[in-house]
Amino acid sequence: MSDKSFHPPPRLLMGPGPSNVPQRVLDAGARPTIGHLDPAFMEFMDEVKDLLRWVFRTSNDLTMPVSGPGTAGMEACFANLLEPGDTALICRNGVFGQRMVEMVERIGAHAIVVDDEWGRAVDPQKVEDALAANPATKLLAFVHAETSTGAQSDGETLAALARAHGCLSLMDCVTSLGGIPVEIDAWGVDAAYSGTQKCLSAPPGLSPVTLSEAAVTRIRERRTPVQSWFMDFRLVMNYWGSEGRRSYHHTAPVNALYGLHESLLLLREEGLEAAWQRHATLSRVLRGRLEAIGLEYLVPVEERLPQLNTLRIPAAVDDAAGRLSLLQDHGIEIGAGLGPLAGLVWRIGLMGDSCRQSSVDRCADALSAVLKLPAEATA
């Protein structure tokens, strides 16, 4: 057991998350802790909610950060919107679609699964056919930006299909929020959750969520209690959902919320559309550099996320050894493949504060060295 403080090594985080956190956000998290029911903190909570509404592009009253990572936001949404015996249609085209299925089944609800190939977007026609065949469906859930593959699905079209078939829509935008357009109100999405550690560039540990009036009504009209006391939005609403005076639910992660607030201020200063454009532009630059090395993308260009690039590992390259060399020799973290893609792909993130020209250059040069190519091949 060491009696020395931990000092993390410097890293350029270019995996599927977390991304690098700006010093200004780190400094915000180090400000003095105050009570979670302090009047000053109550006012601060309203500011956080307003900023989250801004980044989600919504006017939803119930917009708040869940105390937990993106998976906690995912589970909280399913736990509140579904009851035992309900039917949910789940779009599965990667790891996180499968995680949705498992959560639905743990609730005691029935999961109808629409499968698409890993590395491809959700096929809206398959979804429409499944909704037509299952008119009792209460919820359509899909991953907008599948972190395990780098594929982007059409959130607007999928949400419209849910409305047309009389069910609610739930969108996972853990990797999309702040990096590509997310238009909760314009698309008519009923519920969505995200994470702080991707394109928002805040430390991990909070999950922004937003729910429409229709989703809130579904929760208020439940016949059975939410099986998780901590995640019961009817209870959490009394803390986060009311303006001004609030009742105690749990001790909010005060300093983590300072960091989230500061990261959202940084994003607002840049401009949301400008941030989307930065991710799109630098992704094209990165693609040029990586294709010049000879690396191939898994996802077709029209379905590809700018902030999560999935590359096929050359046959002669060892997956783990290559990633270890990048980390130890170049200080760069990238992600491994998951599930059936394990050992076959690398996932290179270009998210939030890590989405910089300097990151593109360092990553391309380091990969050139690891793959033992001349540096000029990546220029």
Which tokens in the block code for residue 32?
Answer: 């003095």
Strand partners, 12: 332
Spatial distance between the Cα atoms of 31 and 351, rounded to a whole number of angstroms: 25
The per-residue pLDDT for 375 is: 47
Which tokens in the block code for residue 252?
Answer: 């909010």
Q: The tokens 């990238």 sit on which residue?
A: 334
CA 254 to chain CA centroid, nearest Å = 21
Strand partners, 347: 310, 335
Give the DSSP letter string of 326-352: HHHHH-EE-EEP-GGGTTTEEEEE--G
Q: Which residues of 277-316 are buried (b: 16+ CB within 10 A; e: fewer)?
A: ebbeebbeebbebbeebebebbbeeebbbbbbbbbebeee
Strands 206-211 and 110-115: unpaired
How many CB atoms are located within 10 Å of the residue 95 CB?
19
In sequence order, which ranges of 94-175 are alpha helices (DSSP H)?
Answer: 95-107, 124-133, 155-164
The per-residue pLDDT for 245 is: 63
The per-residue pLDDT for 243 is: 57
3-state SS track over 9-66: CCCEECCCCCCCCCHHHHHHHCCCCCCCCCHHHHHHHHHHHHHHHHHHCCCCCEEEEE
Q: For 313, which DSSP code?
A: P
Q: For 245, which DSSP code?
A: S
Q: Which residues of 44-70 are buried (b: 16+ CB within 10 A; e: fewer)?
A: bbeebbebbbebbbbebbbbbbbbbbb
Determine the 3-state secondary structure of 229 from DSSP.
Answer: coil
pTM of full prediction above 0.75: yes
Q: Positive or negative, the Cα torsion across 303, 308, 314, 320?
A: negative
Q: Which domains does the chain have, with CATH numbers?
A: 12-16+272-378 (3.90.1150.10), 23-268 (3.40.640.10)
Which tokens in the block code for residue 363?
Answer: 């990553």
The per-residue pLDDT for 377 is: 45
Q: Spell out the per-residue pLDDT of the chain, length 379, in tens.
A: 888 999 999 999 999 999 999 999 999 999 999 998 899 998 999 999 999 999 999 999 999 999 999 999 999 999 999 999 999 999 999 999 999 999 999 999 999 999 999 999 999 999 999 999 999 999 999 999 999 999 999 999 999 999 999 999 999 999 999 999 999 999 999 999 999 999 999 999 999 999 999 999 999 999 999 999 999 999 888 888 665 567 788 889 999 999 999 999 999 999 999 999 999 999 999 999 999 999 999 999 999 999 999 999 999 899 999 999 999 999 999 999 999 999 999 999 999 999 999 999 999 999 999 998 654 444 4
3-state SS track over 148-168: CCCEECCHHHHHHHHHHCCCE
Continuous segment of H or E residues that includes residue 115: strand 110-115
Strand partners, 335: 347
